[in-house]
Amino acid sequence: MGAVKSKRMPRAVREQQMLDAAVRTFGQRGYRAASMDEIADLAGVSKPLVYLYLNSKEDLFTACIRREAAALTAAVRAGVRPGLPADRQLWEGLRAFFTHTAQNPDGWAVLHRQARTHGEPFAAEITAMREEIVAFVTQLIVVAAREAHRNPSLAEREVAGLAEALVGAAESLAAWANATPGTSARQAAATLMNFAWAGLGNLMEGQPWAEAPESAGTPGPRP
Amino acid sequence: MGAVKSKRMPRAVREQQMLDAAVRTFGQRGYRAASMDEIADLAGVSKPLVYLYLNSKEDLFTACIRREAAALTAAVRAGVRPGLPADRQLWEGLRAFFTHTAQNPDGWAVLHRQARTHGEPFAAEITAMREEIVAFVTQLIVVAAREAHRNPSLAEREVAGLAEALVGAAESLAAWANATPGTSARQAAATLMNFAWAGLGNLMEGQPWAEAPESAGTPGPRP
Amino acid sequence: MGAVKSKRMPRAVREQQMLDAAVRTFGQRGYRAASMDEIADLAGVSKPLVYLYLNSKEDLFTACIRREAAALTAAVRAGVRPGLPADRQLWEGLRAFFTHTAQNPDGWAVLHRQARTHGEPFAAEITAMREEIVAFVTQLIVVAAREAHRNPSLAEREVAGLAEALVGAAESLAAWANATPGTSARQAAATLMNFAWAGLGNLMEGQPWAEAPESAGTPGPRP
Amino acid sequence: MGAVKSKRMPRAVREQQMLDAAVRTFGQRGYRAASMDEIADLAGVSKPLVYLYLNSKEDLFTACIRREAAALTAAVRAGVRPGLPADRQLWEGLRAFFTHTAQNPDGWAVLHRQARTHGEPFAAEITAMREEIVAFVTQLIVVAAREAHRNPSLAEREVAGLAEALVGAAESLAAWANATPGTSARQAAATLMNFAWAGLGNLMEGQPWAEAPESAGTPGPRP
DNA sequence: CATGAATGAGGGTTCATTCAT
DNA sequence: CATGAATGAACCCTCATTCAT
């Protein structure tokens, strides 16, 4: 049994316990490999109660996605101080994002790995959350560009791609840092920032890397 | 039944048909949700034949991973002309990578999403492929730094981290490009190149991004 | 369906029903040929319930062995009055043994035929039971020999061989009596006793049959 | 592969190789657990050839039983010199029986353990062999009684029961001797002879063991 | 003759889900 | 409210058996 058994808790509390157990199980095992038995056991309740409160495995998974998505976007919003310049806001948002995902690896696994792996019922949830975050970041980047009076017409899609790339790079770095002794998570974050920031800056200045045939030796857009 | 039924094929051919069906099924459903029945049906053979040739679901999945990993690394290597400057080689490698993953979305899903989600038997296969690509990219970065006659003493570990980040970003971008209609491999490659190359250049010039408190308006290291 | 379907029984009762069905099926078909489907059907329950209560075919078989072994040893012990002389105790023990095995042919088949045919998981269970019974019989024989002040040093192994022979003879006789109309189990037991007892007596008196070259006409140890 | 592959052997030889492999596999694994694949492999031939020569698993098993039964009865007959007194003939027959079963443990396992465990198709074969041996033993007992000029009117049925018991005891002892290291065929035969001969003698002298209530200490019919 | 290719049928096991108490 | 009891449906895997070459 996973949790201490204490009877007669209000429904809201019981539900959160179930969701905690479900997020952990889904995040570690995947949607299919997670069994309702294990989840109920980990939550310290009987299986029919899980069904009474959350209807089905699909609904339970959807509830997990929704709760974790809300927590993630809340964390990002809470990490950003609205008065600051846009580049600081972006930086703070990224820090909040990486901090939250590092502290909730199972929730992040549910959102990023498991939910996308499975079919239509869940993709919509993920898309909604994703759009919210991407819209937030996009807005920050656009504002930053406007503040810098440069290149105010970044395409929406391009920003979305950047977010994807950032997240992928961050995940790889995190795994690599974990597997490489002597490398802290903070260093990994700094490396990522180094890696990414200049690229964003150039993008916003309208000086992308060009497939120039004469390009040689010196990397980067400037001579 | 999925395929036209033509009896009595030599074993090698049948095996490829089975792997085709398996990659497609695993890529779309995930490892657990994919059923051997569906795979056999899609391959146009009976289930016992799949087991006769490929032993088990685990072995079949491993065979998929190995085949797709080999095809991907081969495509990347084939896309790079060795004589060119390093940044051109990187660009070509990225283009080949995104082209191949766009043309083999199921294979890429197997490698990127499904294989990493499941336990030890498969992680090793992915790690091997990844290390090969990361080594390739690392070498390109080192050569580029040497060609630029700048900062030739980039720490080995830092370069490794950069390569990890680049590869991770590429992996995520590929999945995103696959899932986003209207995104070409070329665009994806350009986005990543934009995103990454300037950062690499700054790094090599010894001008990393710094969390400067006075930073305002213009993001990036330069005023 | 094998049994009347009465729903919602307490677990202990259902488990006994399952064991009844399993003993019958294993005893008649053998371990491999017995199917969980048939057992569940005969028990009047669905297959998952069998697995819920008894885990696996192996565990189910082991549970059968244990239950039947316990029942057999209990029957033998219950049939013996401890105050009597050893030869009487032995006689009563044999009677109880043959009575019980005749009344539980499937259980006896499980113990004697099926369990020994299969590998390690089950052999240990049988060995344990066997040793208990053989130890019991050995003790009786040894005590009987001591009471008779004769040949108190019968070898352990020899006694074990006698037990084997007795059991084999009894089984053959039982099958033969069953197949031969007009022959009761009691007569069979008496025949066996006739057959065996004198041999035991001679053994204990230290007058074994000898491969004497001059032996002729009169069988047995006496001239 | 189990056997050296030498092509183009006459059919009779190939069949014996197959039967060798089948006896070994059936004897060790049991009828159900033995697979035609393993048998064909052990025989060094392809599976369809086994079917061409021996039709089916059932027929193959039957052929094994027949061959081993014939070999056993032949060995017993060959071990007996007809001119000797009956007890000597019995002794020699037992020795031959235990020697043969010790030298062909797999064949004996097929006859004694496996064939009896499974249904009707095979039981008939075993019954036939058994009846032949029982008839042989019965005749010996009758002749012995006549030679001893005692109690020549032993009931036919009683003698048959005795023979059954003797053969059953021999069968069990043979299996036990095979499974017990350090037990020679000669010892097994002596144990059985000891065990049985005195009882036979008493029977023929009209002194059966009786369940006398006053029996104490000394087992057996004599005071 | 001999074999590689192929399969229908069934067995053990698990899982999401539901009643009756 | 809460739970022990129960199951239909599937899934992975194996086996005896047969063609076409």
How far does D219 lie from chain C, in Å, by closest CA? 6
Residue nearest to nucleotide E3 (CA to C1'): D46
Chain C neighbours, 3+ Cβ pairs < 8 A: D
Mean pLDDT of C150-169: 70
The residue among D140, D36, B113, B185 whose CA lies nearest residue A171 is B113
Which residue's CA is nearest to the C1' of nucleotide F11?
B35
Q: What is the mean pLDDT of residues C110-138?
A: 77
Q: Which of B30, B147, B199 sits opposite A196 (nearest CB)?
A: B199
Q: Say which of D32, D165, D180 has its CB closest to residue C195.
A: D165
C-chain residues within 8 Å CB-CB of D156?
none
Interchain proximity C202–D209, CB inside 8 Å: no
Closest-CA residue of B relative to A26 is B117
Residue A59 pLDDT grade (very low, low, confident, very high; cuts 50, 70, 90): very high
Alpha-carbon distances of D48 from A60, C96, D31, D41, rounded to whole Å: 53, 52, 19, 11
Token readout for C219 is 């069988």
pLDDT tens profile C54-81: 999 999 999 999 999 999 989 988 988 8
Distance B47 CA to E9 C1' (A): 12
Nearest to B90 by CA among B218, B11, B189, B211: B189
Q: How many angstroms separate the CA of residue A106 from the nearest CA in chain B?
A: 12
Q: What is the pLDDT of residue D208?
A: 56
Put simply, whether D194 touches C (Cβ < 8 Å) is yes
Inform me whether the pLDDT recorded for A160 exceeds 90.
no
pLDDT at D53: 93
As a whole number, mean pLDDT of residues C203-209 equals 60
Q: Tell me, what's the pLDDT at B169?
A: 87
- Euclidean distance between CA atoms D14 and C13, whole angstroms: 55
CB contact under 8 A, A172 and B169: yes
Report CB contact under 8 Å: A91, B170: no
Whether D146 has its CB under 8 Å from any CB of chain C: the answer is no
What's the average model confidence in pLDDT over C113-135? Answer: 77
pLDDT the model gives residue C16: 95
Q: Which nucleotides of E are covered by protein (CB under 7 A)?
A: 1-21
B200 touches chain A (CB under 8 A): yes
Summarised one tens digit per residue, pLDDT across range C128-152 is 787 777 777 777 777 776 676 555 5
Closest residue to F1 measured CA to C1′: A8
Q: Of residues D119 and A75, which shows the higher confidence score?
A: A75
Residue A200 has what pLDDT? 65
Query: How confident is residue C220, by pLDDT bands cut at 50, 70 and 90?
Result: very low
Q: Which of D147, D218, D222 to mutate to test the interface with C (most CBs of C within 10 A)?
A: D218
For the ranges A43-47, B173-177, C25-29, C77-81, which has the lowest average pLDDT? B173-177
Tell me how crowded residue D198 is: count the other CB atoms within 10 A of its CB: 28
Residue D218 C-alpha, separation from nearest chain C C-alpha, in angstroms: 5
Which positions of strand F lie within 7 Å of protein CB atoms?
Answer: 1-21
Domains present along chain B, CATH in parentheses: 65-204 (1.10.357.10)
- Residue C26 pLDDT > 80, yes or no? yes
pLDDT value of residue C150: 56
How much is the pLDDT for A202? 62
With 0-12 CB in 10 A as exposed, 13-18 as middle and 19+ as buried, what is C207?
middle
Q: What is the DSSP string of chain D?
A: --S-------HHHHHHHHHHHHHHHHHHH-TTT--HHHHHHHHTS-HHHHHHHH-SHHHHHHHHHHHHHHHHHHHHHHH--TTS-HHHHHHHHHHHHHHHHHH-HHHHHIIIIIHHHS-HHHHHHHHHHHHHHHHHHHHHHHHHHHHTTS-TT--HHHHHHHHHHHHHHHHHHHHHHHHSTT--HHHHHHHHHHHHHHHHHHHHTT------TT--SS-SS--
What is the Cα–Cα distance from D63 to D40, expressed in whole angstroms? 15
Closest-lying nucleotide for D33 based on CA to C1': F15
How many Å does it take to go from CA D160 to C1' F16?
41
The nt closest to B13 (CA vs C1′) is: E5
CA–CA distance, B187 with B178 (Å, rounded to integer) = 12
Rounded distance in angstroms from the CA atom of residue B41 to the C1' atom of nucleotide F9: 19
Q: What is the pLDDT of residue A9?
A: 73
Contact C172 D171 (CB under 8 A): yes
B220–A197: do the CB atoms touch at under 8 Å? yes
Helix (H) or strand (E) holding A184: none
Q: Which residue of C has its CA nearest to D118?
A: C29
CA atoms of B182 and B99, how far apart (whole Å)? 14
Q: How far is the CA of B207 from the C1' of F4 (A)?
A: 68
A chain contacts of residue B168, beta-carbon cutoff 8 Å: 168-173
pLDDT tens per residue across all 223 residues of chain D: 444 445 567 778 889 999 999 999 999 999 999 999 999 999 999 999 999 999 999 999 999 999 999 999 999 999 998 888 877 888 888 889 989 999 999 999 999 888 877 777 788 888 888 888 888 888 887 777 777 655 555 667 777 888 888 888 888 888 888 888 888 888 888 888 877 776 666 666 665 555 544 334 434 443 3
Most confident of A26-30, B167-171, C189-193: A26-30
* pLDDT attached to residue C218: 40
- Kindly state whether C121 is in contact with chain D, defined as any CB-CB distance less than 8 angstroms: no
CA D138 to chain centre: 15
Question: Which chain B residues are within 8 Å of A170, Cβ to Cβ?
Answer: 165, 168
Which pLDDT belongs to residue A162?
Answer: 77
**pLDDT at position A185:** 60
pLDDT on residue A1: 44
Give me the pLDDT at residue B204, please.
61
- For A170-213, what is each residue's pLDDT tens digit? 778 877 777 777 776 667 767 777 666 666 666 556 555 655 44
| D121 vs C: CB within 8 A | no
What pLDDT score was predicted for residue C52? 94
Mean pLDDT in chain B?
81
- Tell me the two tokens of residue C157: 């192994």
Chain A residues 34-73 with CB within 8 Å of chain B: none
- Percent of chain A clearing pLDDT 70 (strictly above): 72
Residues of D in contact with C217 (CB under 8 A): 85, 147-149
In this predicted model, what pLDDT tens digit does every residue of B15-52 receive, in sequence order? 999 999 999 999 999 999 999 999 999 999 999 999 99
Average pLDDT, chain A: 77
List chains touching D (3+ CB pairs under 8 A): C
CB of A33 within 8 Å of any CB in chain B? yes
Nearest nucleotide (C1') to alpha carbon of D11:
E1
Chains that touch A (3 or more CB pairs under 8 A): B
Per-residue confidence band for C32, with pLDDT thresholds at 50, 70 and 90: very high
DSSP element (H, E) containing A72: helix A57-79
